[in-house]
Structure 1
Amino acid sequence: MTDNSTSKAGFTRRAQIGWALYDWANSAFATTVVAGFFPIFFKTYWSADYAAETSTLQLGLGSALASLIVLFAAPIGGAIADRGHHKKAALALATALAVAATFALFFVGAGHWLAAMGLFVIASIAFFMAMVFYDSLLVNVAAPADYDRVSALGYGLGYLGGGVLLAVNVAMTLKPDWFGLADRTEAVRWAFLSVAVWWGVFSWPLFATVTETGKARGEPIGKAVSGGLKDLAVTIREIMGRREVWLFLLAYWLYIDGVHTIIRMAVDFGLSLGFGQQSLIAALLLVQFIGFPAAIGFGWLASRWETKKAIYLGLVVYGAISAWGYFLTAVWQFYVMAAAIGLVQGGVQSLSRSYFARLIPEAKSGEYFGIYNMMGKFAAVLGPILVGVTAAATGSARASILSVVVLFIAGGVLLTRVDARQAKANT
């Protein structure tokens, strides 16, 4: 056997592992920066001179701006990259920009909230744009029969990598003297620096091992942009004519909205019950480390069962999580919720990515995944509204948690109408 262990279609395991390691690399940004330290450090260090309500507004506006830009840029960027077969080059550019912006956070002094927010917005936009190009490269490293396994490997390594660095960063903030640091503030600044280095170093295997199919057209940038926009318009019309694709995107939007709402609601709910920050960080680490084997396990399950059935399983568990949240009163119950989320979160996300890859034409994977990621950015819109309206109508925050089940049911029902075999027959 060669070291590459080629599959029937000629795809190498070396390239698949190199591709999956990008999830290990960039998940550090999602865990340490986005979910972990940036929101807290922004309030207590960069925007400490402002009232809590003002800093919350600043953070919310910055996050919203990044999301809004990605909504429009993701499908356009995917179309341009597809047109010239430049997905790897586009991924390299987005990664370099995100790494540089994250690295620069180390140098932002106290009180400079605008500089910190500007760098965070740049890093966030680049992070999400990079995911468009990264996801679309799945078709260049695996045959359709291996999409589930390889996609799950990526998510699994992402949970592990993000969890490992987050654990180190948490230790740095709890015991800064162990790392030769003066205090917690210095530890957080070095945590941002560590994310940039981690992301940059572990991205290299993808660029060294993955080969993008097709020849670059060598078009001038202006022509590539205008051509990409025209191609995107054609793709949108194609999607509307491909019943399986638009049905899946609608189903995905509904149930992934529920997934994102549960994630956000769990933390907020824990705070409302008086659980401390250390308990919340411990729960986040629990999700990361359970998510690693669970995501890979879902890939194994899909290969022996069926991808859609495995997604259904994840949605059923999420429905049970919503019900569990209604009765949640103690910290140990919060940890049970976190463990359950870790069991299915990566599986639902990874199998959704691999199932969508089966529905689309390989030559337009960048454009289609641009729209797929755009739908993901639209997520967590219906859920919070549903939760808020239910809470107002019932006067119970606990009752509002149950309302999220509607999104999982609606998404699951629509998913039953999608047939990947029919989609490929029409490709």
Structure 2
Amino acid sequence: MDTAKQIRSWVMYDWANSAFATTIMAAVMPIYFIDVAGGSDGSWSFTQTASAIAIALIAPLLGAIADQSGRKVLLLRVFSIIGALASASLAYVGTGDMWVASVLVVIGMVGFATGNTFYDSILNDITTPEQREKVSARGFAMGYLGGGLLLAVNLGMILGWEELGLPDKTAASQISFVMVGIWWFVFSLPLFRNVKDVPLAKAGGNVIGSLKSGASRLKVTFLQIKQYPELLKFMFACWFFFDGINTIIIMAASYGKTIGIENEDLIQALLITQFVGFPATLLFGRMAEKIGSKKMLYGALVTYLMIVILGYFMTTSLHFLLLACLVGLVQGGSQATARAIFSKIIPQGRITEFNGFLSSTTRLFSFMGPLLFGIVKLFSDSSRLALLAVAMFFLVGIVLLKFVNLTKAEEQAARLIRS
């Protein structure tokens, strides 16, 4: 198989599923959830908490099953379809259907995040360690471009609903949800066609056998993770700063709406984030190769800390626009670099299992961000204080990252592979 073709196909999946990240997670659905479904920024945060818990419960087991059975691409296909169908089904959410919206968003989030567990692990199958910063960054960059293009189409449709002959903005938003499902599925096809599962000598067996093997392997993961102390320290840092990043992504639109930013300005600012993010993520990946992944990650987390503090004082649409540009500079690059680092410090043969473990534990912890936002908002009745509380996750992540020795982490993984 042509490795370059596999890489291009792998990168296109980020283009595909980022439609969900932009339209459902970040821009259109949070506003629709409040304006049409009858929710609030607090109930939106609790919906995200529920999805984080659901993902945390299933991701590590599925990761272990994928490694045991050698069926990463198959499982990615299944959860992509689940996510795409849930996205399209949001078109049926009408006035006051907050609970229906919440359930479908949770299902979509499970499809998105669990699918990414398998997607991330495939990076190791199609690249060398030296390629991973660049290829990982390409993936996130294409995600920004693809997600941004569809969001631009959706934004044009929502703002120009009269010219298009639609009955109202609600109908335009519902069509945008269907478009997300179609976009996600169609642009996933190159990966499904060109990237094949790597056969394993011991793969096979029925579903029950795979579940038992996966559960057994997961138990071993929990027991043996302490043998990888540098990896474990990096995971601790990831739990905190990923939680902060995730909270900003999913709460930005609802937060902006709560403090008085107009819907059109919210979506336009989030759209600009995508197109700033495309070149910025590519540049971030190149700089990570030149000056070091850890240094670039530090810079991104400090920038995020500034974004949270500035967001507390934000009052106008211009402020929101400027902060959206700042987010675009570091959002994709920070996640791509963290993904590349992690791919280098996990033992071969247990790639999906460890990606699943990171995904699940990150998701298990990530409910803390939206939950903290919701609790602070509930008791203080201040969305600004709720946002400021998120700064804690970046502060702790920065401190924990300082204690990670990446060179030693790679040595530990390689030594334990041989032993």
TM-score where L is the length of structure 2: 0.88
Structure 2 letter corresponding to 1:38: M
1:85 shift after superposition: 0.4
State the partner residue of 1:9. none
State the partner residue of 1:24. 15
TM-score where L is the length of structure 1: 0.86
Cα distance in 2 for partners of 1:327, 1:79 equals 45
Cα distance in 2 for partners of 1:180, 1:316 equals 46
Pair 1:123–1:407, CA change in 2 (3 A): closer
**Cα offsets for 1:345-398 (capped at 9, x unmatched):** 1111111111011110121111111121123322261586489769989x9976
State the partner residue of 1:207. 192
Q: What is the aligned counterpart of 2:328 among 319, 323, 342?
A: 342
Q: What is the aligned counterpart of 1:410 among 396, 407, 411?
A: 396
Q: What is the aligned counterpart of 1:34 among 19, 25, 43?
A: 25
Cα distance in 2 for partners of 1:227, 1:364 equals 13
Matched-pair contact (CA < 8 Å) for 1:258–1:383 = no
State the partner residue of 1:374. 360
Pair 1:274–1:190, CA change in 2 (3 A): closer
Matched-pair contact (CA < 8 Å) for 2:12–2:142 = yes
Stretch deviating more after TM superposition (138-147 or 91-100): 91-100
RMSD across aligned C-alpha pairs, in angstroms? Answer: 3.0
Cα distance in 2 for partners of 1:157, 1:170 equals 19
State the partner residue of 2:316. 330
State the partner residue of 1:181. 166
Stretch deviating more after TM superposition (117-126 or 140-149): 117-126
Stretch deviating more after TM superposition (407-416 or 340-349): 407-416
State the partner residue of 1:162. 147
Cα distance in 2 for partners of 1:114, 1:385 equals 21
Alignment of 1:25-104 (within 5 A): 25-45=16-36, 47=37, 57=43, 62-104=47-89
Q: 1:245 aligned to 2:231? A: yes
**Cα offsets for 1:25-75 (capped at 9, x unmatched):** 011112112323334434554x46xxx57x975x56654433222111000
Cα distance in 2 for partners of 1:268, 1:110 equals 18
Structure 1 letter corresponding to 2:171: E
**Cα offsets for 1:118-168 (capped at 9, x unmatched):** 433322222221111111111012111111111111111111111110111
Cα distance in 1 for partners of 2:376, 2:93 equals 40
Structure 2 letter corresponding to 1:379: S
Unaligned runs of 5+ in 2: 414-419
Cα distance in 1 for partners of 2:45, 2:398 equals 31
Cα distance in 1 for partners of 2:45, 2:389 equals 24
Cα distance in 1 for partners of 2:110, 2:377 equals 32
1:88 shift after superposition: 0.5
Cα distance in 1 for partners of 2:104, 2:137 equals 31
State the partner residue of 1:125. 110
Pair 1:116–1:157, CA change in 2 (3 A): same
Matched-pair contact (CA < 8 Å) for 1:90–1:130 = yes
Stretch deviating more after TM superposition (22-31 or 92-101): 92-101
What secondary structure, in the 3-state scheme, does the structure 2 residue paired with 1:426 have?
Answer: helix
Pair 1:306–1:287, CA change in 2 (3 A): same
Pair 1:147–1:188, CA change in 2 (3 A): same
**Cα offsets for 1:157-194 (capped at 9, x unmatched):** 11111111011111111112444534323222211111
Cα distance in 2 for partners of 1:94, 1:230 equals 22
Cα distance in 2 for partners of 1:31, 1:99 equals 14
1:293 shift after superposition: 1.1
Cα distance in 1 for partners of 2:349, 2:51 equals 28
Pair 1:396–1:37, CA change in 2 (3 A): closer
